Structure 1
Amino acid sequence: MMLKLIKSMVQAITRPIQYLIISYLRYLVGFPSLTHHDNQVTVIIEDSTDNGRINVIHGATQAYLLNKINLDFAKINHDLVKICVGECQFDDIYQGAELKWRIFVDKNNIGNIPKQCFELRFDEKHRDLVFDSYIPFVESKAKEIKSKKRILEMHTYSHCSDTWETKSLDHHSTFETIVMKEDLKRGLTDDLDRFISKKDFYKRVGRHWMRYYLLHGLPGTGKTSLVAAIAKYLNFDVYNLRLPEGVKTDFDPRRLILRVKDSSILVVEDKDTSLEGTTVALSQLLSCLAGFWSNGKARIVIFTTNNKERFDPTLLCRMDMKIYMGHCSFEGFKTLASNYLGLSHDNDGPHRLYPDIKRLIDGQAVTPGQIAEELMKSQDVDVALEGLVRTLEMKSLISNKIDEDDKDL
Structure 2
Amino acid sequence: MMIKLIKSMFQAITRPIQYLIISYLRYVSGSPSLTDTKHDHYVTTLVIEHSYKFLRENILYSSTHAYVFNKLGIHPVNYHVGELTLADSYQGIELSWRIFYNNKSIGRESFELKFDKRHKDLVYNSYLPYVESTAKEMTTIPEVHIYSHSFDTWETKPLEHHSTFETIAMKEELKRGLIHDLDMFVQRKDLYDRAGRPWTRSYLLYGPPGTGKTSLVVAMAKYLNFDVYDLQLSRAVECYFNPRKLLSGVMNNSILLVEDIDEGSTVLVLSKLLSSLTLGTPWGEARIVIFTTKNKDMIDPTLLSRMSMEIYMGHCCFEGFKVLASNYLGLSHVDNDEPHRLYRDIKRLIDGQVITPAQVTVELMESEDVDVVLEGLVTTLESLTSDKIDDDEDEEKHLACLRDL
Q: Normalising by structure 1, what TM-score?
A: 0.77
| Residue 92 in structure 1 maps to residue 86 in structure 2 | yes
Distance in 2 (CA, whole Å) between partners of 1:280 and 1:107 is: 43
**Other structure's SS at 2:385 match:** helix
Instruction: Decide whether the 8 Å contact of 1:30 with 1:56 is kept in 2.
Output: no
Distance in 1 (CA, whole Å) between partners of 2:203 and 2:95 is: 51
| Residue 62 in structure 1 maps to residue 54 in structure 2 | no
Distance in 1 (CA, whole Å) between partners of 2:122 and 2:214 is: 45
- Displacement of 1:265 after TM fit? 0.3
Q: 2:5 maps to which residue?
A: none
**Other structure's SS at 2:266 match:** helix
Q: Deviations over 1:133-173 (max 9, x none)?
A: 89977876775665355110011112222221111111222
Instruction: Count matched residues.
Output: 370
The 5 Å alignment of 1:2-21 reads none
Q: 1:360 maps to which residue?
A: 349
Structure 2 unmatched ranges of 5 or more: 1-14, 25-33, 399-405
Question: What letter is aligned with 1:398?
Answer: D
Distance in 1 (CA, whole Å) between partners of 2:72 and 2:288 is: 33
- Displacement of 1:351 after TM fit? 0.3
The 5 Å alignment of 1:273-312 reads 275=264, 278-294=266-282, 297-312=285-300
Q: Pick from 98, 101, 105: which aligns with 2:99?
A: 101
- Displacement of 1:257 after TM fit? 0.7
| Residue 44 in structure 1 maps to residue 47 in structure 2 | yes
Q: 2:313 maps to which residue?
A: 325
**Other structure's SS at 1:266 match:** strand
**Other structure's SS at 1:257 match:** helix
The 5 Å alignment of 1:112-151 reads 118-120=110-112, 122=114, 126-128=116-118, 146-147=136-137, 149-151=139-141
Q: 1:188 maps to which residue?
A: 178
Greater alpha carbon shift after TM alignment, 219-228 vs 203-212: 203-212
Return closer, same or farther for 1:197/1:141 CA change in 2, 3 Å cut-off. same
- Displacement of 1:291 after TM fit? 3.0
Greater alpha carbon shift after TM alignment, 55-64 vs 99-108: 99-108
Greater alpha carbon shift after TM alignment, 146-155 vs 368-377: 146-155
| Residue 338 in structure 1 maps to residue 340 in structure 2 | no
Distance in 1 (CA, whole Å) between partners of 2:127 and 2:236 is: 47
| Residue 178 in structure 1 maps to residue 204 in structure 2 | no
Q: Deviations over 1:175-204 (max 9, x none)?
A: 222222222222211211111111122233
Distance in 2 (CA, whole Å) between partners of 1:280 and 1:106 is: 45
Greater alpha carbon shift after TM alignment, 137-146 vs 366-375: 137-146
Q: 2:403 maps to which residue?
A: none
- Displacement of 1:296 after TM fit? 7.0
Distance in 1 (CA, whole Å) between partners of 2:275 and 2:144 is: 24
- Displacement of 1:268 after TM fit? 0.3
Q: 1:233 maps to which residue?
A: 223
Instruction: Decide whether the 8 Å contact of 1:101 with 1:121 is kept in 2.
Output: no
Instruction: Decide whether the 8 Å contact of 1:245 with 1:278 is kept in 2.
Output: no
Instruction: Decide whether the 8 Å contact of 1:208 with 1:290 is kept in 2.
Output: yes
Q: Pick from 313, 331, 338: which aligns with 2:301?
A: 313
Q: Normalising by structure 2, what TM-score?
A: 0.77
- Displacement of 1:387 after TM fit? 1.8
Question: What letter is aligned with 2:100?
Answer: R
Instruction: Decide whether the 8 Å contact of 1:28 with 1:49 is kept in 2.
Output: no
Structure 1 unmatched ranges of 5 or more: 1-21, 77-82, 109-113
Distance in 2 (CA, whole Å) between partners of 1:297 and 1:94 is: 28
| Residue 206 in structure 1 maps to residue 203 in structure 2 | no
Greater alpha carbon shift after TM alignment, 241-250 vs 135-144: 135-144
Instruction: Decide whether the 8 Å contact of 1:337 with 1:375 is kept in 2.
Output: yes
Question: What letter is aligned with 2:215?
Answer: S
Q: Pick from 26, 34, 37: which aligns with 1:35?
A: 37
Distance in 1 (CA, whole Å) between partners of 2:192 and 2:16 is: 34
Alpha-carbon RMSD: 3.9
Instruction: Decide whether the 8 Å contact of 1:101 with 1:120 is kept in 2.
Output: yes
Return closer, same or farther for 1:389/1:267 CA change in 2, 3 Å cut-off. same
Instruction: Decide whether the 8 Å contact of 1:336 with 1:372 is kept in 2.
Output: yes
Distance in 1 (CA, whole Å) between partners of 2:289 and 2:104 is: 32
Question: What letter is aligned with 1:63?
Answer: A
Instruction: Decide whether the 8 Å contact of 2:163 with 2:218 is kept in 1.
Output: yes
Question: What letter is aligned with 1:26?
Answer: Y
Question: What letter is aligned with 2:110?
Answer: F
